[in-house]
Amino acid sequence: MSRLLHNHWLSILVRIALGIIFVIAAWPKVYDPPSFAHMIWNYKILPSSWINPMAIVLPWLEMVCGLALVAGIHRRGAALLVTGMLLVFIAALLTDIVRDIPVNCGCFSVTPVQRSHEELVAEMKADTLRDLGMLLMSFQALLTRVTWRAETL
């Protein structure tokens, strides 16, 4: 299992896949920050004054980290940021699931979709699971090199 996790080709595949996912997720938000700001506001977590800076910067952070992962440039730094972002996304989704505030995730699209309360909550749970899967990928991308170094030194 450990050998599989630290497999060179698997690491490359995971890193590139994660990078592509982040680039795809970033694009609609980069293109339309006001809609993304609206999505962040819907979560009712951040103070009002934090919403715009977050909506302006976060999509570019996703885009730059995604591209860095795909290109393999500063890939561990990118993996660290991606891990941090995913932890924040998961925390935000879980917070609103617990508070029973149904929201459109805003993960891959900034166009709000009209759904029932139950449908939105079910979707948020699925989004959380997907983010947890991506979190495993980001850990793999982040930690592979450390393990490799430990083995070779």
Partner 1 sequence: MRSKQVVGEAALLAAVSICLAGIYNLMAPKERSLAWIGHYSAGDLQPQAATPEASASSPTAGGSKYLRTIAPPKDPGLPYLEVAGDVAQRLQAAGALIIDARRSDAYERGHIPGARSIAIWERDADEKIGALQKEAIPFEQVMVVYCSGGDCEDSKILSEKLGMTGFYNIYVYKEGFPDWERRGLPVHRGNTP
CA–CA separation, 51 and 153 (whole Å): 45
CA–CA separation, 42 and 101 (whole Å): 9
Q: Indicate the residue among 117 and 129 with the shorter CB distance to partner 1.
A: 117
Among 3-11, 14-22, 74-82, 132-140, the segment contacting partner 1 (CB under 8 A): 74-82
Dihedral sign of CA atoms 79, 21, 115, 128 in order:
negative
Q: Which of 7, 35, 109, 147 binds partner 1 (CB under 8 A)?
A: 35
Among 1-9, 13-21, 70-78, 131-139, the segment contacting partner 1 (CB under 8 A): 70-78
Q: How many residues bind partner 1 (CB under 8 A)?
A: 35
Name 151's Cβ contacts closer than 8 Å, sequence gap at least 6: 6
Give the end-to-end CA distance of the chain in Å, rounded to a whole number: 21
**Residue whose pair of structure tokens reads 């004054």 in the numeric block:** 49
What's the CA angle centered on 59, arms 55 and 61, to 5 degrees?
115
CA–CA separation, 150 and 4 (whole Å): 16
Of residues 5 through 34, those in contact with partner 1 by CB under 8 A are 30-34
Q: Indicate the residue among 109 and 129 with the shorter CB distance to partner 1.
A: 109
Quote the least distance from Cβ 145 to partner 1, whole Å.
8
* 78 binds partner 1, rule: CB under 8 A: yes
> What residues make contact with partner 1 under the rule CB under 8 A?
30-35, 37-38, 41, 48-49, 51-53, 55-57, 59-61, 63-65, 68, 74, 76-78, 80-81, 112, 114, 142, 146, 149
